[in-house]
Amino acid sequence: MKVLDEGIGKLIQPVDIDAFRKSNRSKPKQLIDKRMSEAEAVERFIHDGDYVGTELYGTVRCPMSLVNEIVRQGVKDLRMAGQGVTELDTLLAAKLVKALDITYIALEVYGVSSVLRREVESGRVETCVEWSNGAIAERFKAAAMGVPFLPIRSMLGTDTFKYSAAKAVECPFTGEPICLLPALILDVGLIHVHRADMYGNAQIDGIGGFAAEMARASKRLIVSAEEIISNDEIRETPGKTVIPYFLVDAVVEAPFGSHPGEMCYAYERDEPLIKDWVEASKTEDGVKAYLDKYIYGTKDHQ
């Protein structure tokens, strides 16, 4: 195919889709107990320099209990993918992020993150590649499908395309321009759900986002859940099981695991605490005090 144009962004990780498919086929299919604490899950499955993805919409289903544990353990030089608010802001504030492969990172009604601006403008975040919300989901979908790219129209002619790592090519069937999105293969995916069983079958109420796609685009997957229920209960509502057990490496029980974010039909987000973070994040001293109080000064999320 003839390449007509390409973004100036660089791929954070090579698209080795065949190696990824091979590694996924080797994951164990037995029904084994995968329950563990945040501390054990992070220590076992997340390493310095990993390409890590979070799945959520705004502050809905933030995997905050896992993110806070990453900060406690100081896992550094992370390359982060996806879209985020409080969870990516927290990792940036702790200076653990080396590269961003993202669609959206801000504080919603409170505007652009002060932490993001400092980390990018200072050069501590060495690479920042931009995508649209739809594009990042399609990139996960490509990996989930086992193909190296997917074609779309929506990014053509936009500044988002300019700062991405996408390519515009001449369609071999129509001769018209089409945008190709590279598959996004994660080292580790982090997803917070409403409930799961001990094997990893995970269910979501309300908006599912791109959880199904990201789970299938991750070499290793940590699922945190508001509650762990029996496999019999999972089987009663199979239609809600978005993530099957054989994709999951660790299951963490984390009541209010999205806090200060929210969970559909379960609890609202903690607006006062988010406002506290917005104010604290304006200065390095404020960030230090906040992290010391709410993360470093606590044993775990609960």
Q: How large is the average pLDDT for residues 132-143?
A: 96
Q: Is residue 302's pLDDT more than 90?
A: no
* Per-residue confidence (pLDDT) for residue 159, from 0 to 100: 95
pTM: 0.96
* Per-residue confidence (pLDDT) for residue 207, from 0 to 100: 87
pLDDT tens digits, residue range 86-110?
999 999 999 999 999 999 888 888 9
pLDDT tens digits, residue range 210-248?
999 999 999 999 999 999 999 999 999 999 999 999 999
Assign 81 a pLDDT band (cuts: 50, 70, 90). Answer: very high
* Per-residue confidence (pLDDT) for residue 194, from 0 to 100: 98
CATH homologous superfamily, domain 18-148+185-296? Glutaconate Coenzyme A-transferase (3.40.1080.10)
**Chain mean pLDDT for the chain:** 96
Q: Is residue 84's pLDDT more than 90?
A: no
pLDDT tens digits, residue range 173-220?
999 999 999 999 999 999 999 999 999 999 999 988 999 999 999 999
What is the spatial distance between Cα 173 and Cα 193, in angstroms, rounded to a whole number?
41
Q: Is residue 57's pLDDT more than 80?
A: no
Its sign, for the CA torsion 215, 219, 223, 297, is negative
Numbered ranges of CATH 3.40.1080.10 in the chain: 18-148+185-296
DSSP the chain: --EEEE-S---SS---HHHHHHHHHTS--S----B--HHHHHHHH--TT-EEEEE-BTTBT--HHHHHHHHHHT--SEEEEEEESHHHHHHHHTT-EEEEEEEEES-GGG-S-HHHHHHHHTTSS-EEEE--HHHHHHHHHHHHHT-SEEEESTTTTSHHHHTSS-EEEE-TTT-SEEEEEE---EEEEEEEEEEE-TT--EE--S--TTHHHHHTTEEEEEEEEEEE--HHHHHHSGGGEEE-GGG-SEEEE-TTTTTTSBBTTTB---HHHHHHHHHHTTSHHHHHHHHIIIIITSSS--
